[in-house]
Amino acid sequence: MAASESDSQRTIRIALRHIDQHRGEYNTTATQDLMLGRLIRQHTFEYRPRGGTRDERLAINAYRSRLYHTVSRDGLQGVSLHDLFMKGTKVLRATAREKYTMDEASPIQDSEDELSAGALDQANDIQGTAQIDAPKKRSTASTSAFESGGDDGKDLPQPTWSPLTPADLTVPEGQKRKWMDEEDAEYGATTVTRRGTYVDLRSPAPASSSNVIVNQAPKKRLATSELQDAPNDASRKSSAGPGQAAESDASRGLVKLSEQTIRQELSTIWMNIQSFTCELFEGLGIDADGRAELVTKPHPELEELYKKMFGKEWLERASSLLTAGVMGSRRLVDACTATAVHLMVFLEPLPWDGPAELMSSLSEARPQVDRVLHMTAFHLHLHTVIWQAATNQVQDPVFHQRTIRPRAVGLANRYLAIMNTQLEYLGASKAKGDSDVGRKKRAEHLTAIFSRALVLKGLLRAAPDYYMITWPKSGAGVNRDRVEELHPGPGEQEIVWGLSQLVQKRAKPNEEWEVVAQGKVLSRPMPVPEPTAKLGLERVLGASR
């Protein structure tokens, strides 16, 4: 690649070369539109760090943030990808001569292009072989390297891509194709912000509750993890763009997060927590040797954990659980782990960009991107593609291994460091030993728990609806409107010693919250305290609406 060649020029050259190589197969308009859609999709929404050098990573990031390419040095200012597609052969022969052979299943390509762009389909993915004359050789450093080294290109890493599905080509019900002037009016006044990590908490949250609202299009960058705003605030309504409601309605046709999926994720998280605790105390009988006791002067983070669960009387309430021997110790660790998941995952920003950040980075080119998409067979807007891409990203195994798992490993190690002394007092170290193998096994188990929690929050953030995650603290009175029916004995009240996961959603900011998933509620009958220390059973667990 020439030193003076820009990222946009390079992207155009790669796309046009591929088009020219297969122009014999583009014999219908539908095939042309489909192939253009593939190029757009791969250039923009799939991150493939195949090379590893800094220049290659920067080039890939440039492809993701620029769909509407302009080139001034070649006199192609303002030419869209669709125009370049139609004029591909002519421009290619003038600016990007390349040597390739039609005898191979895929052409010889620059190693640098192959590693960093990751945007070309393999020739054998297309049925048939185009019989065209090979253009003249181009004298570049990369081509010379291939010829001098005798490399025929067979060992080059080939890019992979996910084939289009029927859902990619489906126009959501109720969505019609708009003309260009309507698109400008709809998106011209949209307020956007630059890249960053967003968490939007719209409901006022008292100190005794723990909630997080995962919003589909937050408009305000937050310095902390909480925002005290009324859900029907007029200023909040005015900050949203005029097309926000329409975008959400159209996106729901592509992104569907079922209530069953949310319930399964909640259930899996809690089952993993119980499995971790059961394994932690494996080998200890019910009649333990009395080592189970609470740390009276815990680490500051552990003390905060107890206060989140049990309030000001955390020492007495947490200690009361240990009267049941090992079973009480297991319940205490269950509650600690579940609370840590909420504090470290649901109340913290995710370590990757969501739909709002992706659309913000493409804000200036958004009208042009929509035009390009409308010229293809998709007939969709950019936001609908972004929502689906964000959902697929969270479920992608490669993304999980590269981004989600490292974050989960860090959270697991941090939690073990906080709980280390308390686990010793509970006798857990006696059960599993204090060897490196035992600690590694605990960390792996916790990593799986935090990974599932990160995936759940990522799925909720990537869905067009508004979602609120409520995780009431232990030690508060049970609100019967939100939890399953429990039956304490005479003179007793129900005290939550575990945590109740509650997920609510609404389609628009001014609508009422609807419960879509609820985890298991764990409580324990406790004696009713004196009136001076009454807890207040009427206290609502969770944010007031």
Q: Map 272-311 to HEC letters.
A: HHHHHHHHHCCCCCCCCCCCCCCCCCCCHHHHHHHHHHHH
For 52, residues 6+ apart whose C-beta sits below 8 A from its C-beta are: none
pTM of structure: 0.50
| CA dihedral of 90, 91, 92, 96, whole degrees rounded to 10 | 150
The pLDDT of residue 370 is 76
From CA 532, how far away is CA 478, in angstroms rounded? 19
Q: How many Cβ atoms are within 10 Å of 160's Cβ, its own excluded?
A: 13
For 518, residues 6+ apart whose C-beta sits below 8 A from its C-beta are: 263, 266, 482, 483, 500, 501, 502, 503
Entry field: residues in the chain? 545
Q: What single-letter DSSP state applies at residue 477? A: B
Percentages (nearest 5) of helix, strand, coil residues in the chain: 50, 5, 45
From CA 220, how far away is CA 210, in angstroms rounded? 21
- Amino acid in position 426: L
What are residue 515's phi and psi, to 5 degrees? -75, 125
| CA dihedral of 123, 125, 131, 136, whole degrees rounded to 10 | -20
The pLDDT of residue 449 is 93
Nearest CA-CA partner of 230 in 419, 509, 481, 461: 509
From CA 172, how far away is CA 246, in angstroms rounded? 12
Domain residue ranges of the chain, discontinuous segments joined by +: 7-164, 234-354+388-533
Round the average pLDDT of the chain to a whole number and report it: 58
pLDDT in tens for each of the 545 residues of the chain?
A: 445 666 656 666 666 666 666 655 555 555 555 555 555 555 443 334 444 444 444 444 444 444 333 333 333 344 444 454 444 444 344 433 433 333 333 333 333 333 333 333 333 333 333 333 333 334 333 333 333 344 443 344 444 444 434 444 344 444 433 322 333 333 233 322 222 222 333 333 333 344 556 644 433 322 222 222 223 233 323 333 334 444 445 445 455 677 778 878 887 888 888 888 888 887 655 444 455 788 888 888 888 888 877 777 788 878 877 777 777 788 788 888 888 888 888 888 888 888 878 777 777 777 777 777 777 656 677 777 787 788 888 888 899 999 999 999 999 999 999 988 888 888 776 545 556 677 888 899 999 999 999 999 988 888 878 888 776 544 444 443 443 444 455 555 555 444 456 788 888 888 888 888 766 545 444 454 444 333 332 332 233 33
From CA 485, how far away is CA 273, in angstroms rounded? 23
The pLDDT of residue 454 is 93
Residue with tokens 């429990």: 486
CB 99 within 8 A of CB 143: yes
